[in-house]
Structure 1
Amino acid sequence: MKKYLLLGFALFIASLNLRPAINSIAPLLDNMRDSLGMNASVASLLTSIPVLCMGLFSPIAAKMSGKWGIERVLGWSLLVIGIGTVLRFFTQSVSFLLLTAFIAGVGIATAGPLLPGFIKRHYSKHVPSMIAVYTVALTLGAALSSGFAGGLQKGLNSWQGALGIWALIAFVAVLLWWLIVMRHHAPAVQQPSAGTKSSLPWTNKKAWMLTLTFGLMAMLFYSFTAWLPQIIQGMGYSKSYAANALTIFVVVQIPVSLILPFLLRKFPSRRLWLTIEASLELIGLIMLALSFEPMMAAVFIGLGAGGLFSLNLLLPLDATDNPQEAAGWSAMTQSVGYVIGALGPIILGWIHDVTNSFSSAIAGLIVINLAMIVVQIAATSVKKKQQSNNKPVLVSK
């Protein structure tokens, strides 16, 4: 029991680091744009570059884990996140800031698909509960970084410091990962057998359906992460109100992550909860389109986004039989999915530059949400397919 508690603690602290480099941007964006002279399209890259990295480097993460082990690669990825974040203390140009986004993005991209594989290996009988721990930590990291960004900027008298200070959590995570995981509980690196390949399931129809639903979810999620405060400010609300709405959007995802495993035990249908969560997000979007109570709209969007993220992490684990397969399927859904997701903030930034308004962008997000619901239903309707190794895939309904 002590072993699992320690591993769970290390997992929690590691997961805290997957969002601060992204979520600390939006509350400080106006000051950063004024200081560095960025337009909206360039500013959107600060969110899109890490997300794009999460897409491009996920397949490499799966291959690295097969060669050096999930635990070892995760340790190095946390160090890379820390380096990319601490460099922000020294930012004096747009190009350097974009470089820090890339470095942190590489670390996030490597850790993202491997943490579910780590859960599959060490907590095979408690996957939904540990996915909840992972998601709560990830969401808490996002909430802390978005909620305290403004206060840190005032306290440190520097937006660079407000961005770079989050490296402390990363370096603490590296230390704990070494002391708890690598020294005592990291399995010896094993070459995967023919039945446990970590290769990505490019020819599997179900894997592609899961990838598309993940991509549409990510497209919506990172559009909100990057631009929700600016969307609300465009409605005539104050900067502080808009920043609080972003914090609410993030914070409400925490109880959803905690409650969802219990709901899944009582009503295990993935399709049911995917549809409910997407519908909650849709309600929030419609409220934004009507300029009606944006704080409450942020609550609905956050409730939907939090559940959708957890469920999309679970689907590849449902469909696989061992940690290496789980890492491979997670890497594929996240690789292509995050590339799709990276387009969201860029497109919204471009629309704002062209129209000087987010009205058209909100309408586009509603269309994406409706398309996501259709894909989710299709993805959870795919019949059992034989994988390339002839093992049956568990259907996530």
Structure 2
Amino acid sequence: MHPKDSSAPALLLTAVALVALNLRPFIAGIGPLAADIGRDTGLGLQGMALLTLVPMLLMGAFAFAGPLLQARMGARRAILAALFLLATGSLLRLFTTNGWQLVGTAALLGLGAAVVQAVLPSVIKQQFPRHVGPVMGLYSAMLMGGGALGAQLTPWVAAAGGSWHAGLVWMALPATLALVLAARSLPRDSSGQPGHLRTGDYLRRPRVWLLMACFGLVNGGYSSVVAWLAPFYQEHGWSAAASGSLLAVLATSQAIAALLLPVLARRHADRRPWLWCTLALQALGFAALALWPQTAPIAWSILLGAGLGGCFALSLIVALDHLSDPAQAGALSALMQGGGFLLAALPPWILAVLRGATGSFTAGWLLHLGCVAVVTLLYRRIAPASYGRAMRLTPRAT
């Protein structure tokens, strides 16, 4: 990106939005097609859960490599490589013939998303230092919007193309467009990485583990809802297209909340009241799914979406708020996501087990209601006055 080019910031913002749009469709698109995929591949409930669990595990595991990737490879090259993986993984789904091949493409896609999520926040903090909140809101909104796009378009494309393969392979197109735009707009990598910190420097801080726990418990709710909301309502008589539309409503609500809440909260150093508001919305949503699922499904989806999307965006901003140096703040964000996504990968599988044992998803929704209560208590400890003391780090020379 050339500093004297007045169009460069707008082009970079567009790239951030399009890159983020590609980070969730491959997860959100599975639920509406679960019955068709299971029938053709032989995957049962727990096997289908792997299509969410495996990408989330990789998002977690490889996020820990984010600081090292950025130091050794550079943010630009890492993001471009990750977008190539997203395009390739989506394209390969056209040729999958069994469940394990499909899980393999899920792993490839999860790896691509993991690298982007680990590296892009530090680019945002570096390139937009005075507008971190709104730009992270845009990033989060487009990420959630990608989930809406995947949930809505996937069953339609599958119906038009005559197979679930067609419903999944279209995602290679926006990934390729993002790759081209990112190559055009991302700033060149600097030759040095002064002040680089080892992962262990962060992991010795209890605050990092606290942020991981909060992020993981909340995003476990997201991964479960994306995996099982559509099948849940299909069990109540909804069609694949209708349940996919319900998932799209949830993801759209996520996107709107992720965009608006960081803007509303930008003048407040203490983000906790806004976080608690999003947690209250999640609690209402999960309680409603457990107790009154048929009363107002669209309203429950909107509540859950607003709570999950707003909390996701604000959690990323809180992590970046802890440190002023973009590289260090980005590393903290990557590690929070790393531990968080490892934790968030498990609930869809747990819900599948509970569904098999009880014959209902009710126990799973109540489990997430309990997780929301735990996070509400944990966030009491994350006050702005504690940031400096909690994250006092000593960089090593490189």
- Which TM-score band applies after superposition, normalised by the shorter structure? over 0.9
The one of 29, 36, 61 equivalent to 1:31 is 36
- Aligned-residue sequence identity (percent) comes to 28
Q: 1:307 aligns with which of 310, 329, 338?
A: 310
Paired positions, count: 386
Cα gap change, 1:377/1:121 in structure 2, threshold over 3 Å: closer, same or farther? same
CA deviation after TM superposition for structure 1 residue 31, in Å: 0.8
C-alpha displacement at 1:51, in angstroms? 0.5
CA distance in 2 between counterparts of 1:170 and 1:152 reads: 17
Shift of 1:268: 4.4
Instruction: Measure the CA separation in 2 of the matches of 1:25 and 1:164.
Output: 12
Q: What pairs with 1:13-24 in structure 2 (closer than 5 Å)?
A: 13-24=18-29
Alignment partners' CA distance in 2, 1:356 and 1:223: 16
2:393 to 389, 392, 397: 389
How far, CA to CA, are the matches of 1:374 and 1:242 in structure 2?
Answer: 33
**Residue of 50, 59, 68 corresponding to 1:63:** 68
Asked if structure 2 preserves the Cα contact closer than 8 Å seen for 1:192 and 1:324, the reply is: no
Residue 176 of structure 1, CA deviation: 1.4
Map 1:66-145 onto structure 2 (within 5 A).
66-145=71-150
Q: 2:345 aligns with which of 338, 342, 345?
A: 342
Which residue in 2 is equivalent to 1:243?
Answer: 244
The 1:56–1:304 alpha-carbon spacing in structure 2 relative to 1, beyond 3 Å, is same
Q: Once the two structures are superposed, what CA deviation does each residue of 1:188-233 show, in whole Å capped at 9, x if it has no partner?
A: 231323xx43635101122221111001111111111110112223
Instruction: State the alpha-carbon separation in 2 of the partners of residues 21 and 145 from structure 1.
Output: 7
Are 1:273 and 2:286 counterparts? Answer: no
Q: 1:160 to 1:380 in 2, by over 3 A?
A: farther
Distance, in Å, in 2 between the alignment partners of 1:382 and 1:40 is 46
Cα distance in structure 1, aligned partners of 2:290 and 2:142: 31
Select which of 369, 374, 379 maps to 2:382.
379
Residue 66 of structure 1 and its aligned partner are, at CA, apart by 0.7
Residue equivalent to 2:164: 159
1:191 is matched with which residue? Answer: 193
Point out where structure 2 has 5 or more consecutive residues left out of the alignment. 1-5
Equivalent residue, structure 2, for 1:295? 298
Partner of 1:395: none
> What is the identity, as a one-letter code, of the residue corresponding to 2:79?
L
Q: 1:126-182 CA distances to partner (integer Å, 9 max, x unpaired)? A: 10011011112212211111111111001111101111110111111111111222x
Question: Is residue 327 of structure 1 aligned with residue 337 of structure 2?
Answer: no
TM norm structure 1: 0.93
**Using the alignment, how far apart are the partners of 2:255 and 2:279 within structure 1?**
17
For the structure 1 residues 198 and 316, does the alpha-carbon distance in structure 2 shift closer, same or farther, using more than 3 Å as the test? farther
Between 1:231-240 and 1:140-149, the stretch displaced more is 231-240
**Alignment correspondent of 1:394:** none
Cα distance in 1 for partners of 2:351, 2:262 equals 33
Contact kept in structure 1, 2:158 and 2:164, CA below 8 Å: yes
Do the aligned partners of 2:22 and 2:146 also contact (CA within 8 Å) in 1?
yes
Please report how far the alpha carbon of residue 327 of structure 1 lies from its aligned counterpart in structure 2 after TM superposition.
2.2
Name the CA distance, whole Å, in 2 between partners of 1:371 and 1:106. 29
Query: Is 1:15–1:134's contact at 8 Å kept on the other side of the alignment?
Result: yes
AA aligned to 2:358 is: T
Q: Deviations over 1:276-304 (max 9, x none)?
A: 00001111111112223222111110110
Gaps of 5+ in 1: 392-397
CA distance in 2 between partners of 1:265 and 1:323 (Å): 18
CA distance in 2, matches of 1:347, 1:120: 36
Write out per-residue CA displacement over residues 294-328 of structure 1, whole angstroms, 9 at most, x where no aligned residue: 22111110110110110111111000121210221
- Using the TM superposition, give the Cα deviation of residue 85 of structure 1 relative to its aligned residue in structure 2, in angstroms: 1.2
Deviation at 1:266, TM superposition (A): 4.8
Q: Matched residues in 1 for 2:89 and 2:164: separation?
A: 16
Cα displacement (A) at 1:267 = 4.4
The residue aligned with 1:11 is: 16
Which residue pairs with 2:365 in the alignment? Answer: 362
